[in-house]
Amino acid sequence: MSERARDAAARLRAGDTAALARAIRWLEDGDALGARVLREVAGAPERAWRIGVTGPAGAGKSTLVDALITELRRRGQRVGVLAVDPSSPFSGGALLGDRLRMQRHTLDPGVFIRSMATRGRMGGLASATHGAAILVDAAGFDVVLIETVGVGQDELDVAELAHTTVVVSVPGLGDEVQALKAGLFEVADVHALNKADLPGADSAERNLRALLDLETQRREGEPRWAPPLVRTVAARGDGVPALLDACDAHRVHLAASGEGERRAATRAEQLFYALLREQAPQRLLARATDLDRTIAALRAGEIDAFAAAEAVLAGGGLPAL
């Protein structure tokens, strides 16, 4: 198996997109090969800039990502995209339609687009998205765009993964701005007011700016970064160069202020816990002895669930009856 993983990692590093796509699949499916490939490429310094694109459903995230790809390609950057959509909690299936808006980049060899379903993970990303971003980086892409599901107030995982988080909002949602206050607003490094040609764009901008002033005050004492607000009409590409310039300014800020290093340390710690959360249950159960007997005793009422769980957590099998 380790030979297969080494081979996959080598092909992926050489820019083989089929190998990249397959390795991401392994991560999604929980195939041990995925973790092995990750370990093969881990340790290499991060090269790619990760830009998260998040916001409520209908804000135009996919269209904005499409426009960002175009602009990044114009600037000579190779672009990987991870576009996340929700899995149905009922069937476990998913409709992944983000790349519909990015069709024109399909044949560009400098663009890799991968749709991912959340597969039960809350937080706006899939469990495998973090690993996938590392693999896309290893495959030689300069920028990784990570598009979240349409988020509410507490699906904020993207901020842990991205270097720069773009929060997309749109005019005309009224209370949307209020909703943005909680959670989403705090993770925004850059704001995009998309569909800025719609009626109500000016008042939406005023509302956002008022909130931004409060936010800037709140952040006093931290390394100074006032999240800029950029108006965009993604469908026409308007404002997209300015949006990318704002992301770039944030990148420079992270490097110059030391904030980037602080965030990288936090990211490493969060990834560590996320990996444990994901893998610990399976490993624990795999290690437990007499699991069948424990379950049978539990179901028969001979032991209680607390005692059974404690026994497995302690690394043993069936507790003494």
DSSP class of residue 156? -
Q: How far is the CB of 104 from another protein (least distance, A)?
A: 10
Q: How far is the CB of 168 from another protein (least distance, A)?
A: 22
Q: Are the C-beta atoms of 65 and 161 separated by less than 8 Å?
A: no
Closer residue to another protein in complex, CB, 117/159 = 117
Q: How far is the CB of 282 from another protein (least distance, A)?
A: 9
Q: Contacts for 200-205 with beta carbons within 8 Å, 24 or more apart? A: 200/171, 200/172, 201/171, 201/231, 203/171, 204/169, 204/170, 204/171, 204/172, 204/177, 205/171, 205/229, 205/231
Q: How far is the CB of 57 from another protein (least distance, A)?
A: 17
Distance CA 114, CA 147 (A): 10
Q: Are the C-beta atoms of 185 and 152 separated by less than 8 Å?
A: no
Rounded to 10°, the helix 129-138/2-13 angle is 60
Host H or E run for residue 9: helix 2-13
Closer residue to another protein in complex, CB, 106/217 = 106
Closer residue to another protein in complex, CB, 27/243 = 27
Q: How far is the CB of 214 from another protein (least distance, A)?
A: 41
What residues make contact with another protein under the rule CB under 8 A?
Answer: 17-18, 21-22, 24-25, 28-30, 87-88, 90-97, 99-100, 103, 106-107, 112-115, 117, 119, 127
Q: Contacts for 282-286 with beta carbons within 8 Å, 24 or more apart? A: 282/30, 284/312, 284/313, 285/312
Which of helix, strand or coil describes residue 80? strand
Distance CA 4, CA 32 (A): 11
Closer residue to another protein in complex, CB, 20/53 = 20
Q: How far is the CB of 192 from another protein (least distance, A)?
A: 24
Closer residue to another protein in complex, CB, 16/71 = 16
Q: How far is the CB of 143 from another protein (least distance, A)?
A: 16
Closer residue to another protein in complex, CB, 28/160 = 28
Q: Are the C-beta atoms of 212 and 229 separated by less than 8 Å?
A: yes
Host H or E run for residue 195: none
Closer residue to another protein in complex, CB, 30/183 = 30
